[in-house]
């Protein structure tokens, strides 16, 4: 009796679709499963390849299915879409997943551990708190601007708004002072939570050898160094540094035909939070370099002489990504290039 060699599963909240295929690609079974029956059904199947899209809850199911002895592979959804035949439904999606997993040139996503996902959640929660603080500050600035109180953008200027609310000489209505104080309390509470998260990240970075090695690169701080481990796949899985920078989306998008290369804007693939941290770190390096008036790096000096700063920041972020890959694979620390 033949056994299914590949099982494709279309994930959902409560209703799952499984598609089994033999080694020659023919259909072995099509099954609709409830959430509680997925693992019992797979435990009854012989050990085989189980493929899923890398979407919500995929890493959880990957860990649980891996415990049953199956080989688990996660596929980016964009790579599955070309294999969907005609109408889009759960059965067609499961069959497309099965077909995509059988391709020898397919790229897969590594299943993350619980610790890695917990680190991702910590960065996600911190980003959410920062966005909420920015939203609250902008709301307070906008409301007070209606009463003639103007302050620049940024958390550092919240003190000016607080002084205007507390100053009895400003002609602000009592209700405006009351509601402004409520928003100031919200901002102070968010400041406290963000500072607490950053203290935990800095303490964890000091105890982590990989993060300490990454922080030797200019523009890479404890948050970026830990985000590199939590948000990116293992760097050893990339063949070269340029592959890692391409995964981050720090390379131009190609539209080449008939041997004529055409390069456009950044592809913006990969993990956008990590890409943003690298670009922000690169911009801080450029600002500090320009402010000091001394540029020791000959490459950076040549780039700043002929390109706008924001363009140089993206190029420097690309370079930082390739350096981080080299440090992670060779287990070395950063050495600054000699000045020309």
Residue with tokens 């924001």: 310
pLDDT in tens, 34-71: 999 999 999 999 999 999 999 889 999 999 999 999 99
Residue-level pLDDT at 251: 86
Instruction: Work out the average pLDDT over 287-312.
Output: 88
- pLDDT band at 1; cut points 50, 70, 90: very low
Beta-carbon neighbour count of residue 103 at 10 Å?
11
Q: Kindly report which listed range (123-127, 239-243, 262-266, 282-286) carries the lowest average pLDDT score.
A: 262-266
Task: Give domain limits for the chain.
Answer: 6-101, 114-206, 209-330
b/e burial code for range 289-325 (CB count within 10 A of at least 16 → b): beeeeebebeebeebbeeeeeeebbbbbbbbbbbbbb
Residue-level pLDDT at 69: 93
Tell whether the model's pLDDT for residue 219 goes beyond 80: yes
Tell whether the model's pLDDT for residue 190 goes beyond 70: yes
DSSP 268-299: --S-HHHHHHHHHHHHHHHHHHHHHT----HH
- CA distance linking residue 97 with residue 78, whole number of Å: 11
Beta-carbon neighbour count of residue 340 at 10 Å?
10
Residue that wins the pLDDT comparison between 42 and 255: 42
Instruction: Work out the average pLDDT over 165-190.
Output: 92
Radius of gyration for the chain, computed over Cα atoms and rounded to the nearest angstrom: 26
Residue-level pLDDT at 295: 80
pTM: 0.83
Q: Which fold would CATH assign to domain 6-101?
A: Nucleotidyltransferase; domain 5 (3.30.420)
């Amino acid at each position: 009796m033949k056994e299914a060699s590949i099982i494709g599963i279309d994930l959902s909240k409560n209703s799952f679709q499984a598609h089994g295929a033999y080694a020659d690609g023919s259909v072995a079974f099509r099954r609709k499963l409830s959430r509680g029956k997925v693992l019992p059904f797979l435990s009854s199947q012989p050990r085989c390849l189980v493929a899923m899209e890398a979407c919500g809850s995929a890493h959880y199911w990957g860990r649980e299915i891996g415990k049953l002895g199956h080989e688990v592979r996660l596929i980016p959804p964009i790579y599955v879409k070309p294999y969907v035949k005609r109408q889009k439904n759960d059965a067609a999606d499961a069959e497309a997943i099965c077909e995509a997993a059988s391709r020898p040139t397919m790229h897969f996503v590594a299943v993350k551990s619980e610790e890695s996902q917990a680190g991702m959640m910590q960065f996600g929660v911190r980003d959410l708190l920062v966005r909420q603080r920015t939203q609250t500050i902008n709301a307070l600035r906008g409301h007070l601007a209606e009463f003639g109180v103007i302050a620049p953008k940024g958390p550092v200027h919240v003190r000016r708004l607080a002084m205007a609310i507390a100053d009895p000489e400003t002609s602000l209505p009592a209700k405006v002072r009351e509601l402004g104080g409520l928003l100031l309390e919200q901002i102070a509470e968010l400041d406290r939570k963000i500072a607490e998260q950053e203290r935990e990240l800095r303490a964890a970075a000091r105890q982590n050898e990989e993060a300490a090695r990454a922080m030797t690169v200019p523009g890479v701080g404890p948050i970026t160094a830990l985000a590199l481990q939590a948000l990116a796949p293992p760097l050893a899985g990339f063949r070269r540094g340029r592959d890692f920078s391409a995964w981050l989306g720090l390379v131009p998008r190609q539209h080449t035909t008939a041997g004529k290369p055409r390069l456009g804007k950044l592809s913006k693939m990969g993990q956008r939070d990590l890409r943003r941290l690298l670009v922000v770190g690169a911009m801080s390096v450029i600002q500090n370099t320009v402010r000091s008036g001394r540029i020791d790096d000959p490459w950076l000096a040549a780039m700043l002489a002929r390109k706008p700063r924001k363009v140089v920041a993206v190029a420097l972020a690309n370079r930082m990504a390739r350096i981080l890959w080299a440090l992670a694979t060779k287990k070395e620390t950063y050495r600054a290039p000699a000045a020309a």
